[in-house]
Amino acid sequence: MALPPNVTVMPVRAVQQIGFDRLELGRILDLYGRMVAAGHWKDYAMDFHRDVAIFSAFRRAAERPEYRIEKRPVLRHRQGMWALISEAGSVLKRGDELANILAPIERKLIKIIKD
């Protein structure tokens, strides 16, 4: 079947985006579930872009996220692809291992449970 002369065929490019693998997402959602059970977090959001995947945790649904966990594979060999970002937008921790990035939140969870 021939195309009409005024039709141009455009190549289809798959838009690649960064995401969390199953183990990473399981680790993040496990922490999220424990923070919900402690009554500290109420909602979350995930954003996936070409260069970054973001998990945001909220105390209330109508405010800025308390923490953002970002995965940027481009920074793997520089600063580390994982970053923990505060509500104010400052980078609290950066590194190569997700467990190290989640450590400050884990410590906060222990304090919440003790109170």
Domain coordinates in residue numbering, the chain? 23-114
CB atoms within 10 A of CB 115: 5
Tell me the C-alpha distance between 47 and 53, whole Å. Answer: 6
The whole model's pTM is what?
0.79
Position of tokens 């922490």? 31
pLDDT digits (tens, 9 = 90+) for 3-51: 667 766 666 666 578 888 899 999 999 999 999 998 889 999 999 999 9
Is there a contact between 20 and 38 (Cβ–Cβ < 8 Å)?
no
Retrieve residue 101's tokens. 């990035």
Residues 6+ apart with CB under 8 A from 27: 98, 99, 102
Q: How far, in Å, CA of 31 to CA of 22, rounded?
A: 14
Residue 104 CB-half CA count within 13 A: 14
The gap from C-alpha 2 to its chain's centroid, in whole angstroms, comes to: 47
Residue 77 pLDDT more than 70? yes
